């Protein structure tokens, strides 16, 4: 084999691999999404939100039973059996095989005229259940979309730190090379720079790992397949705009919009309706009913009753009328009423207790936002100061009044402060997202 042919085979394999990779990338779906796009994808495709939606559908289905007034309840029955033809000698006729076939078909229909308030209360209880299911869906959406928000900004943070780390690596590597080329190289300074280089490489690896996991989790939250190539429209991590508002103002809005507050009230209302429903057991039910009962047995002989109504084998019966029915088990009804009353008072106590906890949670979120705002402002000031130090040390070095190590330390400090600034921006944006979620402005609830 000639030298020329020796390299043709590996080259051909390499080209095939390149073409296959390009074909695979082309076949993959590429999505470039903004934060709003991610929210929309999550609302439409997230499996947890879908499960909460089906709970709403189930609650709506339960309401059908509570709206059955004036809708007839139909019962039907068909019977077939062998019977003796001779009713005067039934045993002899039956065991000798002289039998006929008895067929009977019966239909009953009942229409509730009044249940003395039971159906009305059941309908109200079903409506409360539907509202509660929708609020549970909203609460699940709040949880999922807050996570989407964090993941989106976490990917931007990882990208910013990766870019910053790469700039630091390039600058330190260049400086190490420059020092090593000097005649009287400062080995101690070179070793210090290499130690910093290893630390920066470690930070770069951590940023890459966190960014990769965050992107995989974001695709999961959006309901996207793993082979989808997800790109973000935003390229830089910027501070979220959120105007200052007092704690009292935020708490008031949270009580009007946050699902947890509304669910506690719905629970109290549901227990109150259940108590009213149990008290209605003292009242009867008025039903308009009718029936048709038809039976036929061919060939029957003997002393049959001539009445087609009373004849046990050949008959036609029908009737229509009202039924007033109920069951007055006083101890059982009283027990259920007292239990429902206790459940109502328990729900009221739970509402008061959890209201306090939700208010404390809101207070914690407000204080965290204020703390993150102050830390971000300090980080911005530190960045300005560090930039000035870099500028001054570089200027002094250029005119021969400064030392290289001062400039290097200033650059290192600036890179660390810049990284801390990005982390503070992420923490502040996360605190803003939590507040927005609690006051109902992180997304449009009408999209659910």
pLDDT digits (tens, 9 = 90+) for 390-415: 788 878 777 777 776 777 777 778 88
- The answer to whether residue 228 scores a pLDDT higher than 70 is yes
The confidence band for 206, taking pLDDT boundaries of 50, 70 and 90, is confident
The CATH number linked to 124 is: 1.20.1600.10
Determine the pLDDT at residue 430: 96
Q: Is the pLDDT of residue 11 over 60?
A: no
CA dist., res. 83 & res. 298, Å (int): 10
Backbone angles phi, psi at 73, to 5 degrees: -100, 120
Whether the predicted model's global pTM rises above the 0.95 cut: no
Query: How far apart are alpha carbons 351 and 205 in whole angstroms?
Result: 48
Q: Is 116 left (phi over 0), alpha (psi -120 to 50) or beta?
A: left
- pLDDT > 70 in the chain, percent: 90
Whether 75 is covered by a domain: the verdict is: no
Closest CA to 215 of 232, 200, 198: 232
Residue with tokens 């005229």: 113
Q: Label residue 304 by pLDDT band (50, 70, 90).
A: low
Mean pLDDT on 321-346: 90
Q: Which residue has the tokens 């207070």?
A: 363
Q: What is the pLDDT of residues 149-178, one digit of tens each?
A: 999 999 999 999 888 888 888 877 877 787
CA distance 159 to 43: 26
Residue 9 lies in a domain: no
**In whole angstroms, what is the distance from residue 147 CA to residue 145 CA?**
5
Query: Would residue 302 count as lying in a domain?
Result: no
| pLDDT for 163 | 87
The DSSP output letter for 307 is -
Residue 167 domain boundaries: 32-69+115-284+326-442
Report how many domains make up the chain: 1
The pLDDT, as a whole number, for residue 198 is 83
**CA 326/CA 322 separation, integer angstroms:** 13
Is residue 363 included in any domain, yes or no? yes
Q: Is residue 376 part of a domain?
A: yes
Q: Is residue 149 part of a domain?
A: yes
Task: Give 344-370 pLDDT, tens digit per residue.
Answer: 999 999 999 999 999 999 999 999 999
* Average pLDDT for the chain: 85
CA 349, CA 246: separation in Å to the nearest integer? Answer: 28
| Confidence (pLDDT) at 7 | 47
| Angle made by CA atoms 185, 189, 193, in degrees to the nearest 5 | 120
Is residue 387 packed enough to be buried (19+ CB in 10 Å), middle (13-18) or exposed (0-12)? middle
Cβ 94 vs Cβ 81: under 8 Å: no
pLDDT at 246: 94
Query: Measured between alpha carbons, how far is residue 58 from residues 63, 80, 130, 134 in Å?
Result: 9, 39, 9, 11
Question: Per residue in 257-274, pLDDT tens?
Answer: 999 999 999 999 999 999
In angstroms, how far is the first alpha carbon of the chain from the final one? 69
Read off the pLDDT of residues 57-101 as tens digits, 9 standing for 90 and up.
999 888 887 776 677 888 999 999 888 888 778 778 778 888 888
pLDDT, position 111 = 84
pLDDT value at position 372? Answer: 96
- 341 within a domain of the structure (yes/no): yes
200 against 250, higher pLDDT:
250
Q: Per-residue pLDDT averaged across 379-385, rounded?
A: 91
Higher-scoring residue by pLDDT: 28, 29: 29
d(CA 407, CA 172): 12
Q: Smallest Cα–Cα separation from 313: which of 98, 84, 78, 76?
A: 84
Tell whether 40 is covered by a domain: yes
């Amino acid at each position: 084999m000639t030298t020329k042919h020796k390299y043709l085979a590996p080259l051909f394999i390499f080209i095939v691999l390149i073409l296959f990779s390009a074909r695979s990338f082309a076949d993959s779906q590429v999505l470039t999404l903004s934060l709003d796009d991610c929210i929309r994808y999550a609302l439409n495709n997230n499996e947890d939100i879908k499960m909460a939606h089906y709970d709403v559908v189930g609650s709506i289905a339960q309401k059908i039973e509570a709206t059955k007034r004036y809708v007839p309840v139909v019962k039907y029955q068909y019977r077939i059996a062998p019977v003796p033809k001779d009713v005067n000698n039934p045993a002899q006729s039956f065991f000798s095989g002289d039998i006929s076939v008895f067929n009977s078909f019966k239909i009953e229909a009942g229409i509730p005229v009044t249940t003395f308030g039971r159906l009305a209360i059941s309908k109200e209880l079903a409506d409360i259940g539907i509202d509660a299911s929708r609020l549970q869906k909203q609460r699940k959406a709040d949880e999922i979309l807050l996570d989407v928000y964090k993941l989106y900004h976490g990917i931007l943070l990882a990208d910013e730190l990766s870019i910053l780390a790469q700039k630091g690596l390039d600058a330190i590597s260049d400086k190490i090379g420059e020092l090593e080329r000097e005649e009287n190289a400062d080995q101690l300074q070179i070793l210090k720079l290499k130690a910093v280089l290893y630390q920066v490489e470690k930070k770069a690896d951590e940023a890459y790992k966190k960014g990769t996991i965050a992107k995989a989790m974001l695709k999961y939250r959006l309901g996207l397949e793993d082979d989808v190539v997800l790109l973000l429209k935003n390229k830089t991590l910027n501070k979220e705009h959120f105007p200052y508002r007092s704690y009292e103002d935020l708490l008031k809005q949270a009580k009007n919009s946050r699902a947890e507050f509304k669910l506690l009230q719905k629970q109290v209302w549901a227990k109150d309706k259940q108590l009213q429903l149990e008290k209605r057991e003292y009242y009867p039910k008025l039903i308009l009913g009718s029936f048709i009962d038809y039976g036929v047995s061919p060939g029957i002989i003997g002393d049959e009753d001539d009445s087609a109504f009373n004849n046990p084998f050949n008959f036609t019966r029908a009737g229509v009328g009202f039924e007033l029915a109920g069951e007055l088990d006083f101890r059982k009804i009283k027990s259920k009423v007292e239990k429902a009353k206790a459940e109502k008072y328990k729900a009221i106590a739970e509402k008061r207790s959890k209201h306090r906890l939700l208010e404390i949670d809101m207070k914690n979120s407000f204080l965290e936002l204020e703390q993150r705002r102050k830390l971000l402002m300090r980080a911005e000031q530190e960045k300005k100061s560090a930039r000035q130090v870099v500028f001054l040390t570089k200027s002094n070095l250029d005119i021969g009044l400064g030392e290289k190590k001062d400039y290097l330390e200033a650059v290192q400090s600036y890179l660390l402060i810049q990284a801390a600034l990005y982390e503070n921006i992420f923490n502040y944006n996360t605190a803003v997202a939590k507040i927005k979620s609690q006051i109902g402005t992180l997304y449009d609830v009408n999209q659910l």
